[in-house]
Structure 1
Amino acid sequence: MAHDRPTADLPPAVAGYVAANARLDADGMLAAFAPHAVVLDDGGRHEGREQLEAWIRTAILDSRAIFTPEAWRDEDGWIAVDGLTSGAFNGSPIRFTFRFQLEDGAIAALAIA
């Protein structure tokens, strides 16, 4: 589907990540990911629990970066979520699209652009 959907209908793993991010809850954010998950963010690639935990702490918690979804859509097997990220960083807030790939009810990949 190409049309936008309300954020209340986000898939459970994505909704869990977003809710944990709103609380700046590192363990909750990490729990939404599959053990082998990959995150592509700001030119970096973070793979596996250890690297994802470090990414959450440095990219999100240190700058208090909270992503607020506005709409989402299915996009070639990815869940594309548009919204604003605000926090203690230059240029805040910044509009991003978070693209999630799900596998067995968990986030297997996240690409942020």
Structure 2
Amino acid sequence: MNLPKVVTELIKAQNNFDSTSYANCFTETAVVFDEGKTHNGRKEIEKWIDEANKKYQATMKPLEYSEIEHTLKTEVSGTFPGSPITMTYNYEFEDGLIQSLKIV
């Protein structure tokens, strides 16, 4: 699977529970939409993913990527009911970093 470099870095950071490296995959003004909440900016994204890592210990396994739609389907496993589940990550990129991420 041919993933953008920043997406590969994001997956690696997630699977290592490295919140700082995860947040560094985003622009300073990035927005993340997850579980009905919006997280604005790199610092807020780092706080969100750090809390999620502690709560769910989720790891990602890429299943399918669409270069046209910038969507990644993943198998997500962790300490949450129903694990593992398939989730879709919708990306928007800017200057090689993630500007927007919507997780559904």
Name the TM-score class by shorter chain.
over 0.9
Q: What residue in structure 2 maps to residue 100 of structure 1?
A: 91
> Is the contact between residue 40 and residue 110 of structure 1 (CA under 8 Å) also seen in structure 2?
yes
> Is the contact between residue 23 and residue 43 of structure 2 (CA under 8 Å) also seen in structure 1?
no
Q: Which moved more, 1:10-19 or 1:62-71?
A: 62-71
The Cα shift of 1:49 comes to 2.0
TM-score, structure 2 as length reference: 0.93
What are structure 1's unaligned runs of at least 5 residues? 1-5
- How many angstroms apart in 2 are the aligned matches of 1:72 and 1:61? 27
Matched, 1:29 2:22: yes
TM-score, structure 1 as length reference: 0.86
Q: CA RMSD in A?
A: 1.2
The Cα shift of 1:101 comes to 0.8
> Is the contact between residue 36 and residue 47 of structure 1 (CA under 8 Å) also seen in structure 2?
yes
> Is the contact between residue 85 and residue 95 of structure 1 (CA under 8 Å) also seen in structure 2?
yes
Per-residue CA deviations over 1:31-69 (Å, capped at 9, x if unaligned) read 111111000001100001221112101223331011211
Query: For 1:1-113, what aligned pairs fall within 5 Å after superposition?
Result: 6=1, 9-76=2-69, 79-113=70-104
> Would you say how many aligned residue pairs link Structure 1 and Structure 2?
104
What are structure 2's unaligned runs of at least 5 residues? none
